[in-house]
């Protein structure tokens, strides 16, 4: 029995998380270790993303959010940012057949306004072309920051209810970028660092955290399944007592 099949057989379908978020960290360090350009690291990171998305679709995971480009990533070198924008646009166009075959519906979180027009157009096109697919809901967090999302949620609420002075948790949840996505059950971070870096701050209030030392380009299906298996061993209390 292969390692993947062995880990897969240990998963309990009814105990799978509903919504998993992944901080895909380590592309640059992976490239540096191999004396390659950072661009090559990001390219290999895309391959890892496809492997994990396919694994998620194969086990019928319902929701997956990938931290693709943060609001802080604009601070990187101009050439690297341009290449990342190119990769995002090219990947979304090239992978439509993959989404169709696996019935993956694509969503976006983040502030679209700051993105290049061609990237905005591509994101909107892929979301529209996949909107009837009924498999995995894949959320790409592009130009996304958790604090920024909460601010924009409050702004949306204010624009709808200018006469009101009281805001509730439900008001914020209902005005997030993806209100149709449930709260995150599991947040995975690769690359060795142990922080959530402004990702799904509101949605991950009671999420389980899983940190992997392995750099993102090296991640395989088995790594994802191991993380899910680890999640299934946790006892979730949501602030209460079990």
Q: What angle do CA 185, 188, 190 make, to 5 degrees?
A: 180
Q: Tell me whether residue 203 is in a domain.
A: no
Q: Tell me whether residue 150 is in a domain.
A: no
Q: What is the DSSP string of 115-176?
A: S-HHHHHHHHHHHHHTTT--S-EEEEEEEE-HHHHHHHHHHHHHHH-TT-----HHHHHHTS
Are 5 and 229 in contact, with CB atoms under 8 Å apart?
no
Q: Tell me whether residue 175 is in a domain.
A: no
pTM of the entire structure?
0.94
Q: Tell me whether residue 33 is in a domain.
A: yes
- What's the pLDDT at 164? 67
What CATH number has the domain bearing residue 100? 3.40.1180.10
- What's the pLDDT at 1? 45
**Residues facing residue 189 across a β-bridge:** 23, 211
Q: Tell me whether residue 168 is in a domain.
A: no
Domain count within the chain: 1
- What's the pLDDT at 237? 79
Q: Tell me whether residue 130 is in a domain.
A: yes
- What's the pLDDT at 163? 65
**Residues facing residue 144 across a β-bridge:** 70
Q: Tell me whether residue 173 is in a domain.
A: no
- What's the pLDDT at 231? 97
- What's the pLDDT at 5? 62
Both tokens of residue 14?
């009814």
- What's the pLDDT at 147? 98
Catalytic residues: 25, 73
Residue 62: count other Cβ atoms within 10 Å of its Cβ.
15
Q: Tell me whether residue 165 is in a domain.
A: no
Provide the residue range defining the domain that includes 131. 17-145+222-232
User: Over the chain (242 residues), what is each successive 10-residue block's mean pLDDT?
Assistant: 60 92 98 97 97 97 98 96 96 95 98 96 97 98 98 93 82 97 98 98 98 98 97 84 56
Segments in the chain forming alpha helices (H)? 3-10, 27-33, 38-58, 78-94, 96-101, 117-129, 146-160, 169-174, 221-232
**Spatial distance between the Cα atoms of 31 and 130, rounded to a whole number of angstroms:** 33
């Amino acid at each position: 029995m292969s390692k993947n099949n062995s880990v897969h057989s240990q998963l309990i379908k009814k105990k799978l998380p509903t919504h998993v978020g992944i901080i895909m960290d380590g592309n640059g360090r992976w490239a540096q270790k191999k004396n390659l350009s950072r661009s090559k690291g990001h390219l290999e990171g895309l391959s890892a993303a496809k492997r994990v998305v396919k694994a998620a679709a194969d086990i019928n995971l319902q929701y997956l959010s990938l931290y693709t480009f943060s609001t802080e990533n604009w601070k990187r070198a101009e050439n690297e940012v341009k290449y990342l924008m190119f990769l995002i646009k090219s990947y979304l166009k090239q992978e439509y057949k993959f989404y169709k075959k696996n019935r993956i519906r694509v969503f976006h979180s983040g502030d679209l306004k700051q993105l290049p027009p061609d990237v905005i157009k591509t994101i909107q096109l892929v979301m529209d072309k996949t909107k009837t697919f009924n498999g995995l809901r894949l959320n790409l967090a592009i130009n996304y920051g958790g604090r920024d999302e909460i601010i924009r949620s409050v702004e949306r609420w204010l624009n709808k209810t200018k006469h009101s002075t009281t805001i509730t948790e439900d008001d914020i949840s209902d005005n997030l970028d993806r209100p149709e996505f449930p709260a995150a059950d599991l947040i995975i971070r690769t690359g060795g660092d142990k922080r959530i870096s402004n990702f799904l701050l509101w949605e991950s209030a009671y999420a389980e955290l899983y940190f992997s030392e392995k750099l993102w380009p090296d991640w395989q299906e088995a790594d994802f399944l191991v993380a899910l298996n680890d999640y299934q061993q946790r006892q979730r209390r949501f602030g209460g007592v079990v």
